[in-house]
Structure 1
Amino acid sequence: MLRQGLVLAVVVAFTSAQTFSFGHCPVTHTQDNFDLSRYVGDWYELYKFPASFESGEKCIVANYTLTPDNHIKIKNQGIDPKTRNSSIAFGDAIQTDPNSPAKLKIRFAANTPYGNYWVLKTDYTSYTLIYSCTDIIGISHLEFAWILSRQRSLPQSKIDELFNVFKSFNIDTGHFIPCDQTGC
């Protein structure tokens, strides 16, 4: 009984900053004719699903740089609002399927598996919608989602439009939390 209680406590602690839902991952479609060279550059995080690897920071910006070997070098940077200390995470992304160029694989630690980073929609100049979903033994799924922008904010009408894109794929936008891009 103690062992089951400990396992339950660990699962609850791990999942409290994740987005789990029942059933399979929703069916989505990624950006048609995705152009990676137009996608690189700075993107500011405006909304996200809760994630244990991203907690409490503000002013989060991701910089994507295309490397000569067609990998994408990633530098995510944010500020701890309490200490004002900067935190940086470096990652790597790749396009693995030329027939689905907007379905990238991404990782932030060497020798770890790549995870999904799917560009559902972007206009390259103002917004991008990112989604990742992993089925878990056919009964639930773990998902991440982000709305990123080339600016630190977007008009509410544009945010509503972008939420509707997620809703069109049956992705629950109620999981989104706003990211603080003020005082940066």
Structure 2
Amino acid sequence: MLRFSVLLLVATASAQIPSLGWCPDYQPMPNFNVNRFLGSWYEAERYFTVAELGTRCVTTKYESTPEGRILVTNEITNSLTGMKRVMEGSLQMIGREGEGRMIIKYPALSMPNDNEYSILDTDYDNYAVMWSCNGIGPVHIQNAWVLTRDRLAPSMVMQSAYAALERYKISRTFFVRTNQADCSILPNPAADPLEIKNNVIEVMIDAKNVPISKVPSDEIPVVDDKLNPEVKSENLQERSAVPEIPAESKPMMLPEMSEKKEEKMDKPEEMKDEKIEMEKEIKLKQ
């Protein structure tokens, strides 16, 4: 009874699916090629677990070393803080040759973690169905994952994975979908907002001091007057305390000159007679 209670406690803590009876006899995939299985896989769906509660962008990478070892790297991002957690381990194939059974060990975990996994089905290029089961006495705990090569797998790929689950009678009732959206643009939680603001101000000041003739037109930054009020002060004209002297006006025409001009304009016949007399005197002299 004590062992049964401990098993239920562990199942509740990890939120894997506990069931009565022995582990189902699911045969792993035959003729499994581990070299084709290497690379990056994205977690599309899985059984609910407390360890992955509030997580997103779960990725697993399998890499081989020159010594023949297979390294496992799990990356999990916290949905609330944006912090990324990385767990590193190693993979070892077990069972009959060519059988898709493996043990994955994570040395960083304090509890025993030699967990056995089975690859039930995969086409290596699109999807993979991974399953595990641990049993103590009449109680067993199952877990299952649907992995895809694409972070956001198309519907046809998911249907192929679902078909593999149905062949093994694995219920999708307890499956939850992993959030894989916007994983490439997650903010850096270590960034200081004050530091970012100071960097923006420094860039604006540098752009202000650089001669415009040396800066290409497409690279001239736009300075916001609200952030840098000094820009407006430079455009204001300086005002002197000495009053300005108006420009010297042109002299006006005297009344006498205007009257004489009007008289000449009014006596065109007299001017004509004077001109005739002058011409006569010139002819007499000749």
For Structure 1 versus Structure 2, the TM-score category normalised by the shorter chain is 0.7 to 0.9
Say if 1:39 and 1:103 are closer, same or farther in 2 by CA, change over 3 A: same
Contact 1:23–1:140 under 8 Å retained in 2: yes
In the alignment, structure 2 segments of 5+ residues that lack a partner are 184-286
- The CA deviation string for residues 94-150 of structure 1, in whole angstroms up to 9 with x for no partner, is 01234253101112126835211111111111111100011221x221111100111
In the alignment, structure 1 segments of 5+ residues that lack a partner are none
Other structure's SS at 1:48 match: strand
Shift of 1:16: 6.4
Give TM-score scaled by structure 1 length: 0.85
- Residue 89 of structure 1: aligned partner: 87
**Highest relative contact order (Cα 8 Å, sep 6+), 1 or 2?**
1
Contact 1:70–1:94 under 8 Å retained in 2: no
Read off the aligned partner of 1:56 and give its amino acid letter.
G
Read off the aligned partner of 2:92 and give its amino acid letter.
I
Other structure's SS at 1:173 match: coil
Q: Which one has a bigger Cα radius of gyration?
A: 2
- Residue 106 of structure 2: aligned partner: 108
- Residue 141 of structure 2: aligned partner: 142
Give TM-score scaled by structure 2 length: 0.56
- Residue 167 of structure 1: aligned partner: 166
Shift of 1:12: 8.1
Higher strand proportion: 1
- Root-mean-square deviation over aligned CA pairs: 2.4
- Residue 117 of structure 2: aligned partner: 117
Shift of 1:15: 4.0
Range with greater deviation from structure 2 (49-58 or 39-48): 49-58
Say if 1:135 and 1:16 are closer, same or farther in 2 by CA, change over 3 A: closer
Say if 1:124 and 1:104 are closer, same or farther in 2 by CA, change over 3 A: same
Report the identity percentage.
27
The correspondence of residues 22-171 of structure 1 with structure 2, limited to 5 A, is 22-109=20-107, 112-137=112-137, 139-171=138-170
Alpha-carbon distance in structure 1 between the residues aligned to 2:173 and 2:155: 16
Other structure's SS at 1:163 match: helix
Higher helix proportion: 2
Q: Where in structure 1 do 4 or more consecutive aligned residues deviate above 3 Å? A: 12-16, 110-113
